[in-house]
Structure 1
């Protein structure tokens, strides 16, 4: 029987083996064989995680280390390919492998008719491999390998249907924007190694606890660079613009990126390096500001979307903002808890949205839907459960985690009352845009042009039902993270009314959404993109929200256009001229020597004579020079 170390060691290699087999033999495999390989590998990883979770629940302080091999050396520091499992990485692998397994099973049904099904499932498996390495790495070099791996896989999956130029552009955008954050992270790791001489996470945490980096300002700058990496991967301000466009990928990809893997990587990084971040309260406050502003701006942008997947995309951005806000306030356990519950209900929402899109012949515009509660009752109920958890309705997993975050904001030394109010206002906006989506999509009369196909595929429905149960009861799945995340200092006690206001706020949002968006007799539900006059002020506001509050336009004006202008202006710069000069030199001598090879014997004889004459002349000149310099003969 395998021990804990062996089970941990094999965990990322099941999907890796599946990836290699699918890439090597994918064209020869039937849908069933490819499904068994890809989903079966995920099942093995999920079962391994479930076993390790039982071990962690019995003894929360358990740490399992698995050193597979020595990777390379950096000076005196050995960088090992080694995995480390503690309570934080236990939460992460449970989410990645558990929710990832359900998404893979759903994806097998969703993508069944695609000509490149095996390639798609191979990319999905590779995505899980990269994420498992990221969260299990015992050093920051291996973490960075997984970090770049999920970036590569996101590019491959978002642009999976690359035949459509818009999909290819969305993939490139995601890759380029996240590379900006990755560059910040890489610089931060270089500085961290220079200051500590180590990139092993345990060693850095120990040095941080001894205040080793407080002798200068390096802790501030290192943490700020790590935040730069986190905001890119987790789509937070100011590097959030890639996430809505990532909806170009197949819907299971959206669920995988938004729920279980990529966007949680930045949250995990900050939580994992919390010992370092606690050395500098200024950066903690910056993280809180990033999270608070992102959750508000993303919530407002969600109010202006007509595409059901883009609403959920901005919702993801907003919920990751809550996690960042929690981390900045020192509520690490609450932030990680929300990461887990968010994976449950957001995967549920994306996958049910995928079933709706399939049932409506790939229609994604909510204003072309309506009345789906009657036409798709089971899918509608499952979607409503996801919405309830999203708005933190009492009794759901989202309520448990979001209330835990809000409960620690008001008296946090690095956050405070202002951030609590921002979190509450964000909860109000979340409730309004969520029920806007719900009322427009599921109530009133059906406004589509095509017949609605019922969803009967069990491979689609079973994962949705399991996720719905987790969205309701997932808040009961808790691990003791107190050993990893010591309590942060607080400023004062909380007023008694905070909890009541936090609970009532989402309910107020439901009432507002009902009066504004609920379909009523005599009120037409028209697509604002088509029905509102461009000169109308409200349309301008709606268009502003729909464009994500103009960040793409701003970046295009300030960064993209000037860069393209300089590139065109400087396309013949000195470096290019040097390269072209080398080409000209080689090409010229090639033509000269080629002209001398004409096959005529007289020409060759003449050239030989000229060569001999030149050689004699050189010898005479050289000899004369020597005699002249050396005196008389």
Structure 2
């Protein structure tokens, strides 16, 4: 296979963006749709061909690279504009292009009646271009270009309804918080240049591998700075607050950016840099602790959310914490495995939530839903698969990937005591995940119908009131098949997608571990756990029991005795209000950083800018004006005045000529 064809993967969506972004306004909507879908399906087909070649061909390489030309070539520093594919890249590309295509297809139906249809698909293709560049990059610098590009595209997509203040603010919030994380990424690159003289992945990692004694020190600093960038992009504590607000964008945007692509970029970057992180146990411990803390913290908030999309948003933050937990304990394969399964079931959940919103003409509040399983049966059954998958019910996809993470945390050899604590946090989070997802399931699809069918379409109180056909249709209705087909495919993947990682203890061969072995075989600081089948099965049983307990609690509180949760909230108002208000983190950030920064700028404006900058300008103007007032008299137009000045000048010259020798 010709490596030069790798350029098709990023360039196809770029071409789709250029066409729809320039002339899409004048094209019929079917043409816009066709351009966007073709621009997405070409990379998906190419990735599938690459997988067949690298997996099954007799001479299939472990990596494929293509170099365009030297990008930066100055004294002692050289970077090529190069793309590279290995087994880790293939998995990420499969998620980006495969799930991305399904979301594009769904969006064609969901956004059918929206203004700016061409603009929406141009932005989607732009996002796909930058995400492909990020994953294919052969250097930190090119990865950073894709990294910044998806930040730009996400800003455009989140703020798609830019006439809404909340959407515009959400886009700005995501953009600014990601820039905070990117500052850490930039500092890490400067340190890499200072210590290695290159930003090429292969050269940096080869240099680390060639020095077995290289541990900690500046490697820890680089790893922690990279973690800052990853925390911003993947919504980890303390930079997670942008992702829930990003639900202001259309639902397909939520599925694409916040389930399958952008938010997993930080996990991908940590896994890609495993050789570096493995040399710093402290940095790995920080990654694991931040991941575990984010997982349980976001799960707590998701317990009491009423907006169906915000439940899924905080769930995404929590599941990303699981992925960081896996990478922190050195189980990179388990982390990437969860990236894969999460892409299936979380994209499904977001798109199914969009179908529910579509059916109720824009309604997002679960308190006014209920009884929808018979009204929208396809949406119900597909979403059910997603709910059971994320809850960790075997043999669905989420069970295998989440169980592997918990097992590796429990068996962490670098810090055994910390590993047990992280396992416990992860287990509690698993139970909470099961509870809030079945809570969503029962409140949306079961019980009495709590919506007024005659007033559907009056969506002025909803976050996404302009979405889909909300203002164009009335009455509960199932979505069209252009929207349902992606749901069915993702539901099937949510069931069987985890079977590629069934461990030997459960009768499988863990195919994904063998597939990724060439990538993660080197540089592991501590060996991963190899436990007996009995202990692994026992830990799996505990996680399943925990998931079932979450289901039973949700069943009792929201189906059997639906008033129980409300009664508990009234009995314990202070803890409930604390969680319902998201622990007031946004308010704290606003008081400390936003208000503080605005206060500083006002002081700076009135102090330094007004007094020093403006004062110096005014002083310079005053001097120039007064000097001009004096010197303009020289040009009076009076001949006698000119003669006087000439005589005075001649006298001065004579004085200098006569007495100057005494001064020298």
TM-score scaled by length of structure 2: 0.88
Residue 161 of structure 1 aligns with which residue? 161
Query: What do the CA deviations read for 1:514-560 (whole angstroms, capped 9, x no partner)?
Result: 1112155xx5599x6xx999xx5533322322222222122223322
Q: Structure 1 residues 85, 618: CA separation in 2 closer, same or farther (over 3 Å shift)?
A: farther
Query: What do the CA deviations read for 1:568-591 (whole angstroms, capped 9, x no partner)?
Result: 223223355444246546866998
Residue 372 of structure 1 aligns with which residue? 372
Q: Is the 8 A contact 2:557 2:564 kept in 1?
A: no
Indicate whether 1:580 and 2:614 are aligned: yes
Residue 289 of structure 1 aligns with which residue? 289
Residue 194 of structure 2 aligns with which residue? 194
Secondary structure at the aligned position of 1:134 is classed as helix
For residues 503-542 of structure 1, the aligned pairs below 5 Å read 503-518=544-559, 520=561, 523=562, 536=570, 538-542=572-576
Q: Is the 8 A contact 2:96 2:128 kept in 1?
A: yes
Residue 483 of structure 1 aligns with which residue? 518
Secondary structure at the aligned position of 2:206 is classed as helix
Q: What is the Cα deviation at residue 469 of structure 1?
A: 1.2
The whole-number CA distance in structure 1 between the counterparts of 2:99 and 2:646 is 81
Query: What do the CA deviations read for 1:23-50 (whole angstroms, capped 9, x no partner)?
Result: 2112211111111111110011111111
Residue 273 of structure 1 aligns with which residue? 273
Residue 397 of structure 1 aligns with which residue? 397
Query: What do the CA deviations read for 1:447-481 (whole angstroms, capped 9, x no partner)?
Result: 11235432242211111111111111112455411
Q: Is the 8 A contact 1:440 1:519 kept in 2?
A: no
The whole-number CA distance in structure 2 between the counterparts of 1:543 and 1:609 is 90
For residues 224-373 of structure 1, the aligned pairs below 5 Å read 224-373=224-373
Indicate whether 1:570 and 2:604 are aligned: yes
Q: Structure 1 residues 572, 392: CA separation in 2 closer, same or farther (over 3 Å shift)?
A: same
Q: What is the Cα deviation at residue 387 of structure 1?
A: 0.6
Among 464, 486, 492, the alignment partner of 1:469 is 492
Q: Structure 1 residues 98, 629: CA separation in 2 closer, same or farther (over 3 Å shift)?
A: same
Residue 10 of structure 1 aligns with which residue? 8
The whole-number CA distance in structure 2 between the counterparts of 1:162 and 1:98 is 29
Give the stretch that moved more between structures: 56-65 or 90-99.
56-65
Residue 556 of structure 1 aligns with which residue? 590
Residue 437 of structure 2 aligns with which residue? 434
Q: Is the 8 A contact 1:440 1:517 kept in 2?
A: yes
Q: Structure 1 residues 554, 625: CA separation in 2 closer, same or farther (over 3 Å shift)?
A: same
The whole-number CA distance in structure 2 between the counterparts of 1:217 and 1:445 is 61
Q: What is the Cα deviation at residue 311 of structure 1?
A: 0.2
The whole-number CA distance in structure 2 between the counterparts of 1:192 and 1:285 is 21
Q: What is the Cα deviation at residue 148 of structure 1?
A: 0.6
Query: What do the CA deviations read for 1:168-188 (whole angstroms, capped 9, x no partner)?
Result: 111111111111111011101
Give the stretch that moved more between structures: 279-288 or 489-498.
489-498
The whole-number CA distance in structure 2 between the counterparts of 1:615 and 1:260 is 85
Q: Is the 8 A contact 1:4 1:52 kept in 2?
A: no
Q: Structure 1 residues 291, 532: CA separation in 2 closer, same or farther (over 3 Å shift)?
A: closer
For residues 217-228 of structure 1, the aligned pairs below 5 Å read 217-228=217-228
TM-score scaled by length of structure 1: 0.92
Secondary structure at the aligned position of 1:373 is classed as coil
Q: Where does structure 1 lack aligned partners over 5 or more consecutive residues? A: 597-601
Q: Is the 8 A contact 1:133 1:142 kept in 2?
A: yes
Residue 205 of structure 2 aligns with which residue? 205
The whole-number CA distance in structure 2 between the counterparts of 1:617 and 1:247 is 81
Q: Where does structure 2 lack aligned partners over 5 or more consecutive residues? A: 455-474, 501-510
